[in-house]
Structure 1
Amino acid sequence: MQGLAQRVTATHPGLVNSDASYGELAWNWGRAHATESHAWRRRLWFADNDLVAWGWAQLPRQVRRRDGSTHDITGAYLAYQVDPDHAGLVDEVIDWFDGVASGVERTVLPCADDEFGLRRWAAHGYSEDQSALDDWTQLNERDLTDIAEPVLPHGFRFRTAAEAGAEAVVRAHVDAWPRSVYTVEAYEDLRQTAPYREDLHVLVEAPDGTMACSAIMWLDEVNRTAEFEPVGTHPDFRRRGLATAMLLHGMRLARAAGATHMTVACLGAEGRPAARELYYGVGFRMLARDVPLVKPADRA
C-alpha cells in the first residue's frame, strides 16, 4: 500500500487520497491496529503482481477514550487508493465497500482533481456530505531549498522522541489532541512501522519540562519527500511561535536526511484557518484537496 502511494506521489501527486499517503498509512496503521483492527476490512487488487488498488474500510465500532468514556461510531469510512493507470478499478472498490458496509452510512474522501473517480462515486449513489462542509482537508507542499532559521523563546529547546521518551511523547500528543485515544502501547506499535524514525520525531520542551508541541516526519526516500503527520501544540503554549519554530527545525532535519520536498495536510475550509495559516506562514501552499462524500444507510 505504501509502495502504491509512492508511485502515485511520483506521477500524480494531486491524486494521493486523504489517508493514503506514505506517511499517513504508517500513522493510521501503527497507532490504531491494536485497538481498532477488529473493525477493519481490507481488500487488495493486483495486476501482474503489482498492487494497483486497495480499500480499507473502517466499520462501526465503539472507541474507548483515555478517560474511560466511550464513543460509538455508527457509520463506515473508506480509505482507498487506485493507480491512475487502472482508474476503472474504482467501480470494484466502491462495490466492495458497499458490500462490506451495507446497512450503515458510508463516507469517503476522494480527491477533487480525480474527475473520473468523482463521476463514478456519484454514479453509485454518493453525494457531497453537507455535514462535512467545514471538515474537508487540503494537502500542502513546499520545497526545502530555503528554510528560515528556527527561533525558540528563551528556555525552550528542541527534543527528539528518543530524548523525550515514550511517556512524554504520548503525553505531548494527547495534550494537543484531548479526544485522542493514543497510548504508550499504540506508540510502541507505531515505532515498529517501517518508515518511523525517532530522529525525525521532534518536540519542543518548555522550561518546566512540559512537551509543548510535537510532530512526526515520515521520510519517503524513493521520492525524496517528507510529510508532517501529526502536528500538535499544548493549549497552554499556543500563539508563542513554538509550532513555527518546530516546523522550521523539522524541515531542516528532513532536508539533512535527504528530502527535497515537504507536505502537510490540514483543514481547508474558510472558517477553519488556524492550521492553514500556520503552514502558509512557513512557506507551504495548497497542492490538492479532498471532497467529502456520503451515502445514506438506507440507499442500496
Structure 2
Amino acid sequence: MPVRRHDFSGPADLRAMQGLASRLWTPASRFHPGQLAWSRYYRPVDPMGLDDDEAIALWTDGGEVVGFGWAEAPDWFELQVDPARPEVAAEVVDWFEEVSDAETQSALVMEGDVAEQALAAAGFEPHADEPFFTHHELDLADLPPVPDVPGYTFRHIEPHEARARAAVHAASWSDVGPSKVDERAYEQLMGAWPYRHDLDWVALDADDTMVASALVWLDPAHGAGLVEPVGCVPEHRGRGLAGAVTLAALHRLAEVGASVAQVSPRGDDDYPGPQRLYRALGFRPRARTVTWRRSLD
C-alpha cells in the first residue's frame, strides 16, 4: 500500500501524531506526546481547524502514521519521520514548499535526524550556532527530595482550576511578552491526551495564591515524563520555587510508575538559566536540536 498524505482535520489527527511520537520516543527524539499537546493547545484554538498561516499534514502507510509536518508559520516548520522510512522526509520537505510562500524557510530537527539528508537535498543548510534546545534526561530513581520552602506549599491542581492555573502561567511568562494561555486554552489543554491533573503542580503562597507551576506529561508506553512548561511569577523568584515545584511533580510522576523524565531547555549560552536549574535537579544533557534554513529569493 502506498504512503498517503492527508491534511490535519481535528483531534484524531493530533492523537495520531502523538502515536508516532510515542512509538519513536527516546530521550534523543524530537517529540514527546505531551509536547505536541502543549504546542497545539497553548492558546485557544478551533479543535477542528488551524490558524490561517498554519498547516499540518500526516503521512500514513496502512493506517500507521510514518511522518508529519507542522508549519507553525510560513517561514518555520517542524517534522518527525520514522527512521525506517527516510523517503517520507523528502515528501514532508516538498510539502512545506507547497504551503509556504516565505522567501526564507527554517526547520528544526534533532542533530543527526533522518530528515537532515532530505533538508540538505532541498537546499537547506544547518546553522548549529543559532539558539538551540538540549534534551535532558533524569532517572527518577535518582530524584532528590522536595525542599522545604518556608511560607509555601505544593500540590497538584484540580480539574475545576483552569482559570487560576492559566493565570499563574501567564503571570510567570509576563516578562517575555503577553501569554496566549487563558482559561479556555487551559480547559482545552486539560482535555487533551496525555494530560493528568495529578501531574500538574503549583506552589502556593501564604494566601493560597498560585505563584509557581510545573506541568509534567506521562507517556505510559515508555514510563517517560516530559516537563513542559515550568514558571514562577516574577515577585516570588529567587526562592527556589521553580525547582521545588518541579521536584514535587516529578515525585508524583515516579509514584504513578514512570522511570525517566525529560526536559528540553535552551542549550545555548544566550539563555542559560533554565538549563542550570534542571541540571541542578539532576537532569543530564543527551541530544540537541539544529536549525536548518534555506533562501528561495
2:43 pairs with one of 13, 32, 37: 32
> What pairs with 1:1-300 in structure 2 (closer than 5 Å)?
1-9=17-25, 12-14=26-28, 16-17=29-30, 20-32=31-43, 34=45, 37-59=51-73, 75-114=74-113, 116-129=114-127, 133=130, 135-162=131-158, 165-178=161-174, 179=177, 180-298=179-297
Q: CA deviation at 1:80?
A: 1.3
Q: CA deviation at 1:236?
A: 1.5
Q: CA deviation at 1:163?
A: 7.7
Conserved in 2, the CA contact under 8 Å of 1:205 and 1:213? yes
Aligned-partner SS, 1:267? coil
Number of residue pairs the alignment of both structures matches: 275
Partner of 1:71: none
Measured on the aligned residues, the alpha-carbon RMSD in Å equals: 1.9
**Residue type at the aligned position of 2:172:** A
Q: CA deviation at 1:151?
A: 1.6
The whole-number CA distance in structure 2 between the counterparts of 1:181 and 1:272 is 22
**Residue type at the aligned position of 1:274:** G
Q: CA deviation at 1:272?
A: 1.9
The whole-number CA distance in structure 1 between the counterparts of 2:223 and 2:255 is 11
**Residue type at the aligned position of 1:123:** A
| Distance of aligned partners of 1:254 and 1:173 in 2 relative to their CA distance in 1, 3 Å threshold | same
| Runs (5+) with no aligned partner, structure 1 | 60-74
Q: Which structure: greater helix fraction?
A: 1
Aligned-partner SS, 2:52? helix
Aligned-partner SS, 1:78? strand
| Distance of aligned partners of 1:237 and 1:137 in 2 relative to their CA distance in 1, 3 Å threshold | same
Provide Cα deviations, 1:194-226, integer angstroms capped at 9, x if missing partner: 211111100101123332211111110011111
Aligned-partner SS, 2:142? coil
Q: CA deviation at 1:83?
A: 0.4
The whole-number CA distance in structure 1 between the counterparts of 2:147 and 2:159 is 20
Q: CA deviation at 1:287?
A: 1.4
Conserved in 1, the CA contact under 8 Å of 2:75 and 2:102? no
The whole-number CA distance in structure 1 between the counterparts of 2:296 and 2:35 is 28
| Runs (5+) with no aligned partner, structure 2 | 1-16
TM-score (norm 2): 0.87
Aligned-partner SS, 1:266? coil
Partner of 1:64: none
Identity among equivalent pairs (%): 32
